[in-house]
């Protein structure tokens, strides 16, 4: 172990020998088993434990549940062998490598962890179950990888299951080809470049069984069994015949060993050129003998690590391509070009705030693209995790070298104001341990101590004397739609709870913690399982007794109609505001929420609004603002004609607007998809009478009044629920989904007897659905959830007794709001 660590320490400086990779897969496809195997190979876990020890599943929770929740990083030392001519002889020379490997969770509710892992790695080992094929989560994480320009290699895993059940060699090849085609289809949707494609002839796909420890690639087999070296690319026919040769040998070996027909086995071994020690034949169980033989013949760890070293890029190669995708700054020339294009459309607006004063962007980009250890320090932090009672930051160093004692600028997220911190620890992540190193050069993943106080989750760290842009924030594909209210049992424990919540929000990428107007503190996550895990962590961090409510779902308030202008007066009766409202439409909501419209530069926003949403220039000029936070998908426009003092009251009106959209009149939930139009105002000429204390509450009232006048509705979050099961269970699955208000959206065969049913299922109905479905199908169907969309409920929340009305009342009760559902008259005034 000590020797291994020493080797690792030496390797961090050898940039072309470094690989940063994430193992991604659908839940249960065998990532963790495989990762253990790789760790065992590198000498950090004994061989006998691999497959069962699950070193990377370090959390107690994970071992109990048997799934990976938190992405864990571990660095491996691996030697590949290259042929070199020495004197007259060709010898195999070891070439050492360091592989920083992250085993990411496959469960959909933790996909924010996957996003964080992908950002700091350059390659992805995509693991796909041979029988189940490409599943929803495989597709989702692969898409995420590609959007970060992370290059994939593929392992078709659990092939042993096929060897047992399927003896038709051609069908094997067809099933593998089907998986490769599906993976390539997803890749082709993102990237044209051929080098990202999976091709058996090139050797960026391995076939194997993590559990039984064997795997092979076609070029490996060509090297070993090909007749004479050839520089020619393999034809499809040749590829197929090598695949067939290995699979049929595997089947024959398995059969002869299971039948204890050792003569036949020995003949087979001679044919494939494998010798094993004499005493191995004495193994008590034939399955052990099989394992020994297969490991010797087709060692999975060697095969997979070799494939990763050969086909995944080193940081030097990867950073050339990836920096433009993940860094916010642009080179001066690119900046000028894009400004030049937009200048014509702009109307005297100041230049983009984004790059102002970032004098070092050119220099920093060049250094990152070259992966220059002597350049300025640039580090992206993707998450924080607990270590020795405190928190440390985990990320990737893209440029420069960082040492203990360095003073650095720490930017929290995209916050432009940094804090100066001193680095207290620099280390390599080894599962739950961290191995300290004095300094870490670029190209490696990294653990840093001393910076956690300046970070909430993710951020950028740069040398103190560098003035450059930060990295782009990560885009998460899950939404925190399930929440619980928490409080401590003893009121005196409140400070402990607050400290625990802070730590939780730092360590969980997707959790949202909010204190509502009603005073309750809410922890929101992406599903009931995710929230449950968050609560467990919170209890550990806070070290006090905590009570949590049952999980509930967050709703949104919206409108489906338009209303005439309504009026509210300020409390001193000296100011009046008339406002109407209308829906902005689902397309624009999605443009804001999914495509992050508001992160674009002003000119780009204007162009998109004009091209896609028919906002002409006049309309755009009247647009005062979009919403904020989780209520971004709303806007407010000034549609007054000849009204006075509009500029003076704008700030306070916007404060009122932001207050309302975060706290809708019906439920106190956020507002979504509403456009408020200020149609007229009468404002007092004396600033004393039209200050914030008058204008903000007036705005709040009139906006709420307008919303309630335009056919208000609730929106509920919907999951896309995917169930893969046998055809015979179709009826049971349909009934279970139907009983929970699920709507089937697709139903397809994945093979002759297996179907994949997808349905939209209200998140509110998803609690306990997995157990319910399991009961209904005797454990043969299991649902997966991913956030799909917000769905407007048909029923009228203002109509007594309607479904929406009941939900409104239940939320009000839970939040200790007055029981009465508010009506328009409460908010508007008459002339």
Q: Which residues bind ligand GDP (CB under 6 A)?
A: 25, 27-33, 66-68, 106, 157-158, 160-161, 209-211
Kindly tell me which of 123 and 443 has the beta carbon lying closer to ligand GDP.
123
Pairing of strands 205-209, 151-157: parallel
Kindly tell me which of 172 and 471 has the beta carbon lying closer to ligand GDP.
172
| Least distance (Å) between residue 297 CB and ligand GDP | 16
- Say if CB 482 and CB 530 are below 8 A apart: yes
Kindly tell me which of 32 and 725 has the beta carbon lying closer to ligand GDP.
32
| Least distance (Å) between residue 289 CB and ligand GDP | 18
Question: Cβ-count burial of 194 within 10 angstroms (0-12 exposed, 13-18 middle, 19+ buried)?
Answer: exposed
| Least distance (Å) between residue 408 CB and ligand GDP | 35
| Least distance (Å) between residue 250 CB and ligand GDP | 13
| Least distance (Å) between residue 68 CB and ligand GDP | 5
Query: How far is Cα 518 from Cα 525, in angstroms, rounded to an integer?
Result: 20
Q: What DSSP line would sit under 323-364, residue for residue?
A: HHHHBS---HHHHHHHHHHHHTT--SPPPPGGGTT-TTHHHH
Nearest to residue 644, comparing CAs of 701, 567, 575? 575
| Least distance (Å) between residue 71 CB and ligand GDP | 11
Structure-token pair, residue 31: 């990532």
Question: Cβ-count burial of 278 within 10 angstroms (0-12 exposed, 13-18 middle, 19+ buried)?
Answer: exposed
Kindly tell me which of 165 and 389 has the beta carbon lying closer to ligand GDP.
165
Kindly tell me which of 303 and 568 has the beta carbon lying closer to ligand GDP.
303
Residue 20 bridge partners (DSSP): 100
| Least distance (Å) between residue 66 CB and ligand GDP | 6
Question: Cβ-count burial of 111 within 10 angstroms (0-12 exposed, 13-18 middle, 19+ buried)?
Answer: buried
- Say if CB 38 and CB 305 are below 8 A apart: yes
| Least distance (Å) between residue 783 CB and ligand GDP | 16
Which secondary structure element, helix H or strand E, spans residue 517, and what is its range? Answer: none
Kindly tell me which of 59 and 744 has the beta carbon lying closer to ligand GDP.
59
| Least distance (Å) between residue 28 CB and ligand GDP | 4
| Least distance (Å) between residue 70 CB and ligand GDP | 12
Query: How far is Cα 159 from Cα 209, in angstroms, rounded to an integer?
Result: 5
Kindly tell me which of 76 and 513 has the beta carbon lying closer to ligand GDP.
76
Cβ-proximal residues to 325 (8 Å cutoff; 6+ apart), any chain = 147, 148, 149
Give the chain's largest Cα–Cα span: 104
| Least distance (Å) between residue 107 CB and ligand GDP | 8
Kindly tell me which of 67 and 733 has the beta carbon lying closer to ligand GDP.
67
SS3 content of the chain, % helix, strand, coil (to 5): 40, 25, 35
Kindly tell me which of 62 and 148 has the beta carbon lying closer to ligand GDP.
62
Kindly tell me which of 212 and 703 has the beta carbon lying closer to ligand GDP.
212
Query: How far is Cα 787 from Cα 760, in angstroms, rounded to an integer?
Result: 9
Query: How far is Cα 380 from Cα 398, in angstroms, rounded to an integer?
Result: 8
Residues 586, 589, 594, 598, Cα dihedral to 10° = 160
**Half-sphere exposure in the Cβ direction for 309 (13 Å, CA):** 22
Kindly tell me which of 171 and 223 has the beta carbon lying closer to ligand GDP.
171
CA separation, residue 652 to residues 599, 612, 635, 656 (Å): 24, 31, 15, 6
Kindly tell me which of 31 and 675 has the beta carbon lying closer to ligand GDP.
31
Kindly tell me which of 214 and 827 has the beta carbon lying closer to ligand GDP.
214
| Least distance (Å) between residue 114 CB and ligand GDP | 12
CB atoms within 10 A of CB 308: 26
| Helix ranges (DSSP H) in 95-168 | 111-120, 136-147, 159-165
Structure-token pair, residue 609: 């609004």
- Say if CB 556 and CB 669 are below 8 A apart: yes
| Least distance (Å) between residue 290 CB and ligand GDP | 13
- Say if CB 56 and CB 129 are below 8 A apart: no
Query: How far is Cα 824 from Cα 198, in angstroms, rounded to an integer?
Result: 60
State the DSSP code for 204: -
| Least distance (Å) between residue 148 CB and ligand GDP | 21
Kindly provide the b/e burial profile for residues 790-815, where b requires at least 16 CB atoms within 10 angstroms of the residue's own CB: bbbbeebbbeeeeebbebbbebbebb
φ and ψ of 384, to 5 deg: -115, 150
Kindly tell me which of 31 and 672 has the beta carbon lying closer to ligand GDP.
31
| Least distance (Å) between residue 242 CB and ligand GDP | 21
Kindly tell me which of 530 and 670 has the beta carbon lying closer to ligand GDP.
530
């Amino acid at each position: 172990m000590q020797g291994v660590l020493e080797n690792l320490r030496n390797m961090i400086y050898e940039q072309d020998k470094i690989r940063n990779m994430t193992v991604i897969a659908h839940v249960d496809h065998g990532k963790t088993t495989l990762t253990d195997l790789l760790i065992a190979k590198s000498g950090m876990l004994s061989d006998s434990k691999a497959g069962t020890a699950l070193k990377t599943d370090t959390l107690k929770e994970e071992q109990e549940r048997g799934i990976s929740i938190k992405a864990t990083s571990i660095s491996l030392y691996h030697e590949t062998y290259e042929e070199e001519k020495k004197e007259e002889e060709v010898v195999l020379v070891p070439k050492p490598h360091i592989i920083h490997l992250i085993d990411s969770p496959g469960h959909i509710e933790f996909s924010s962890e996957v996003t964080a892992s992908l950002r700091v790695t350059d390659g992805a080992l995509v693991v796909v179950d041979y029988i189940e094929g490409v599943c929803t989560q495989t597709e989702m994480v692969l898409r995420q990888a590609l959007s970060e320009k992370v290059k994939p290699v593929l392992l078709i895993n659990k092939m042993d299951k096929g060897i047992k059940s399927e003896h038709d060699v051609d069908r094997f090849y067809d099933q593998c080809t089907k998986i490769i085609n599906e993976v390539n289809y997803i890749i082709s949707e993102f990237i044209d470049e051929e080098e990202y494609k999976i091709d058996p002839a090139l050797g960026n796909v391995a076939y194997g069984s993590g559990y039984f420890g064997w795997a092979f690639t076609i070029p490996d087999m060509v090297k070993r069994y090909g007749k004479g070296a050839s520089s020619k690319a393999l034809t499809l026919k040749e590829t197929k015949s090598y695949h067939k040769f290995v699979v049929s040998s595997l089947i024959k070996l398995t059969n002869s060993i299971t039948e204890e027909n050792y003569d036949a086995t020995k003949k087979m071994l001679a044919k494939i050129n494998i010798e094993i020690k004499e005493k191995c034949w004495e193994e008590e169980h034939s399955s052990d003998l099989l394992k020994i033989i297969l490991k010797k013949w087709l060692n999975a760890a060697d095969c997979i690590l070799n494939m990763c070293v050969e086909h995944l890029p080193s940081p030097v190669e990867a950073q050339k391509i990836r920096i433009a995708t993940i860094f916010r700054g642009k080179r001066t020339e690119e900046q000028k070009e894009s400004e030049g294009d937009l200048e014509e459309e702009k109307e005297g607006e100041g230049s983009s705030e984004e790059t102002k004063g970032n004098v070092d962007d050119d220099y920093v980009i060049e250094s990152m693209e070259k992966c220059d250890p002597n350049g300025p320090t640039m580090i992206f932090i993707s998450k924080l995790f607990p270590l020795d009672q405190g928190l440390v930051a985990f990320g990737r160093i893209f440029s420069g070298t960082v040492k203990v004692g360095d003073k650095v600028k720490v930017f929290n997220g995209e916050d432009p104001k940094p804090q100066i911190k001193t680095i207290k620890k620099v280390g390599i992540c080894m599962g739950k341990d961290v191995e300290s190193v004095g300094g870490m050069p670029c190209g490696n993943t990294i653990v840093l101590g001393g910076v956690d106080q300046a970070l909430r989750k993710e951020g950028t760290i740069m040398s103190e004397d560098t003035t450059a842009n930060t990295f782009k924030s990560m885009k998460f594909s899950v939404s925190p739609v399930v929440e619980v209210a928490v409080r401590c049992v003893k009121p005196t424990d409140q400070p402990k709870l607050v400290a625990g919540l802070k730590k939780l929000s730092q360590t969980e990428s997707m959790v949202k913690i909010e204190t509502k107007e009603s005073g309750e503190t809410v922890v929101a996550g992406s599903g009931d399982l995710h929230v449950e895990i968050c609560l467990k962590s919170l209890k550990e961090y806070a070290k006090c007794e905590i009570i949590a409510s049952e999980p509930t779902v967050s709703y949104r308030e919206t409108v489906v109609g338009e209303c005439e202008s309504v009026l509210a007066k300020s409390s001193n009766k000296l100011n009046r505001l008339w406002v109407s409202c209308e829906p902005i439409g689902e397309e624009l909501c999605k443009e804001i929420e999914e495509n992050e419209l508001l992160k674009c530069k002003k000119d780009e926003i204007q162009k998109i609004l004009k091209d896609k949403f028919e906002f002409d220039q006049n309309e755009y000029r009247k647009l005062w603002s979009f919403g904020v936070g989780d209520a971004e998908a709303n806007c407010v426009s000034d549609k007054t004609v000849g009204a006075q003092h509009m500029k003076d009251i704008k700030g306070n009106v916007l404060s009122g607007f932001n207050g309302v959209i975060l706290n809708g009149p019906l439920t106190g939930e956020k507002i979504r998809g509403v456009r408020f139009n200020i149609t007229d105002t009468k404002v007092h000429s004396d600033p004393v009478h039209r200050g914030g204390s008058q204008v903000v509450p007036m705005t709040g009232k009139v906006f709420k009044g307008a919303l309630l006048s335009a056919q208000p509705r609730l929106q509920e979050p919907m999951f896309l629920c995917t169930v893969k099961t046998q055809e015979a269970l179709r009826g049971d699955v349909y009934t279970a989904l139907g009983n929970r208000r699920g709507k089937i959206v697709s139903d397809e065969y994945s093979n002759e007897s297996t179907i994949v049913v997808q349905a939209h299922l209200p998140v509110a109905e998803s609690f306990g659905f997995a157990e319910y479905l399991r009961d209904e199908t005797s454990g043969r169907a299991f649902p997966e959830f991913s956030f799909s969309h917000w769905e407007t409920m048909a029923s009228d929340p203002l109509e007594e007794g309607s479904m929406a009305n009941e939900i409104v009342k239940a939320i009000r009760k839970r939040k200790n709001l007055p029981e009465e559902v508010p009506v328009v008259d409460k908010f508007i005034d008459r002339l």
